[in-house]
Amino acid sequence: MVGPHRDVTGERDTPVHTPEREAHRLDEADPGHRHLFHVPPADGGDHPESAYLAGNSLGLQPRATRDELLADLDAWARLGVEGHVEAARAWLPYHELLTAPAARLVGARPAETVVMNSLTVNLHLLMVSFYRPAGARTRIVIEDAAFPSDSYAVRSQARFHGLDPDETVVRLRPRDGEDALRTEDVTAYLAAEGDRVALVLLGGVNYLTGELLDIPAITAAGRAAGAVVGWDLAHAVGNVPLALHDWDVDFAAWCSYKYLNAGPGALAGVFVHERHLGDETVPRFEGWWSTAAATRFEMTPVSRPPATVEAWQISNPPIFAMGPVRTSLEVFDAVGMTALRARSQRLTGWLESLLDEVVVDRPLRVVTPRDPARRGCQLSVRIGHGSAAELTKRLRHEHGVIADAREPDVIRFAPVPLYSTYLDCWRAAAALAATVGQVNP
């Protein structure tokens, strides 16, 4: 039977078979980089810090961010307008500081990557360029479980082109009785119906199930069918290794407030494959940041865009929002995605083994694929009854465990390899076991 029982050491009652001291042992052996982050204090339970497993929603604040941001503010105080060129990190070319590290993170060339705007704004700007319905080729393919704003975005794009969104947007569903999409079902759809598809726009890691799609295989199938293939990488960037250039992805966009820890509403990123760069047949919206930097102050009426993704920029960038992205990307450069992915798989595998003990006799089911290659760090649990929001409230206020609810019935736990610990995972499983009653105790 799984449930509260006395640890073999007799130290305390544990609601999962695996004792808490095993978590401490694993944390000593595999410590991560928690010291680089502010971890919110617990709002319940008997630990001083929260077990923060909501980095898939909002990442934690790097300790370096505040001083770096203050340095940018000080430059403004000291220099006023001259900061555009005289600040230690001059504002005119500030965005260039973010380009190379962002490109490394997504496996792109610097000319293919820019940090700007926010995610959905970027998706729209990219669809202006790459969703060009013509003749019978009008469809946009998304996942049925796409993040709702992606659904709103593509439906509004269809309307913008005078098309009926109900007919234009195709929502791919998992097979009956399954939770995640199968790559072969996506590629089979594209092989069968691809000549009617203008755009494939999928989430690299699904926000709800945590499934990592086979980005290269689906990209290849979409392109072979003559469609443009774009990716929403909100839940993939900083979570799983990416090679957008080599995978031949047409375009991608991501946010920086989840795994990139750049703060609420942080600036987002964009990738456009180099085969589209400098192509004057690709429509774009323009502003003064679309013209090449050297021409920006010529004050001429016609822009001269560079043959890089910077041509998609429109406005001059918000410098104080760029600093936190820069600071965050430095952490990824220092630690490296390969090491992070390895620790991520160890941590998530451990959380999975603990959840297995808990769900076995409770009305709970892990819906994330079990194959570590088909997921990032997030595990999603579907609850059989009750409200996911109520349950996460109890986890937080009774146990200091911060997870995230997606109504009506999914709770997401994301052990983030930069700062989450084995103890966080243990606390989450123990809190879930203590909060959700067994079916036949």
Ligand X SMILES: Cc1ncc(COP(=O)(O)O)c(C=O)c1O
* Residue numbering of the annotated binding site: 119-120, 147-150, 232, 235, 257, 288, 316
Measured in whole angstroms, how far is the alpha carbon of residue 144 from the centre of its chain?
Answer: 18
Q: Does 118 bind ligand X (CB under 6 A)?
A: yes
Total binding residues toward ligand X, as defined by CB under 6 A = 12
Choose, by CB under 6 A, the member of 131, 147, 251, 289 that binds ligand X: 147
Q: If you count DSSP H runs as helices and E runs as strands, how many of each does the chain have, helices first?
A: 13, 15
> Whose Cβ is closer to ligand X: residue 149's or residue 156's?
149
Pick the stretch among 134-142, 188-196, 229-237, 350-358 that binds ligand X (CB under 6 A): 229-237
Residues 230-289 that bind ligand X (CB under 6 A): 232, 234-235, 255
- Which is nearer to ligand X, 203 or 376 (by Cβ)? 203
Q: How far is the CB of 144 from ligand X (least distance, A)?
A: 14
Axis crossing angle, helix 148-160 with helix 119-130, rounded to the nearest 10: 40
Q: Which is nearer to ligand X, 37 or 257 (CB)?
A: 257
Give the strand order in the sheet containing 379-383: 364-366, 379-383, 410-413, 404-406
Under DSSP, is residue 432 helix (H, G, I), strand (E, B) or coil? helix
Binding residues for pyridoxal 5'-phosphate: 119-120, 147-150, 232, 235, 257, 288, 316
With CB under 6 A as the contact rule, the residue among 45, 83, 133, 203 that binds ligand X is 203
Beta carbon of residue 120, minimum distance to ligand X (angstroms, whole number) = 3
Q: Is 352:370 a contact under the CB 8 Å cutoff?
A: yes
In the complex with ligand X, which residue's Cβ is closer, 108 or 255?
A: 255
Please select the residue that binds ligand X; options are 14, 61, 113, 120, rule is CB under 6 A.
120
- Distance CA(296)–CA(217), nearest Å, equals 40
Q: Does 145 bind ligand X (CB under 6 A)?
A: no
Nearest approach, Cβ of 123 to ligand X (angstroms)?
A: 7
Of the two residues 207 and 251, which places its CB atom closer to ligand X in the complex?
207
At 132 the three-state DSSP class reads coil
Q: Please give the Cα distance from 372 to 344 (Å, whole number).
A: 10
CA distance 331 to 327: 7
- Distance (Å, rounded) from C-alpha 48 to C-alpha 52? 12
Q: Closer CB to ligand X, residue 168 or residue 206?
A: 206
- 13, HSE (Cβ side, Cα atoms, 13 Å): 8
Of the residues 22, 112, 150, 404, which one makes contact with ligand X according to CB under 6 A: 150
Contact stretch for ligand X (CB under 6 A) within 26-34, 98-106, 114-122, 276-284: 114-122
Residue 189 to residue 404: CA distance in whole angstroms: 32
Residue 161 CB partners (closer than 8 Å, separation 6+): 131, 133, 138
Per rule CB under 6 A, is residue 207 in the interface with ligand X? yes
CB-closest chain residue to ligand X: 120
**Alpha-carbon distances of 377 from 23, 248, 336, 415, rounded to whole Å:** 17, 25, 16, 6
State residue 238 phi and psi, 5-degree precision: 75, 0
- In this complex, which beta carbon is closest to ligand X, that of residue 235 or of residue 362? 235
How near is the Cβ of 303 to ligand X at its closest, in Å?
Answer: 26
> Distance (Å, rounded) from C-alpha 243 to C-alpha 421?
28
Chain Cα centroid distance, residue 103? 16
Strand 379-383 and strand 169-172: the pairing is unpaired
Candidate ranges 32-40, 75-83, 113-121, 137-145; the one touching ligand X (CB under 6 A) = 113-121
Quote the least distance from Cβ 149 to ligand X, whole Å.
Answer: 4
CA atoms in the 13 A half-sphere facing the CB of 48:
2
Q: Which is nearer to ligand X, 235 or 382 (CB)?
A: 235
Query: Binding string, 159-198, against ligand X, x = CB under 6 A?
Result: ----------------------------------------
CB 16 within 8 A of CB 430: yes
Task: With contacts defined by CB under 6 A, name the span among 41-49, 189-197, 213-221, 228-236 that binds ligand X.
Answer: 228-236
Residues making contact with ligand X (CB under 6 A)? 118-120, 147, 149-150, 203, 207, 232, 234-235, 255
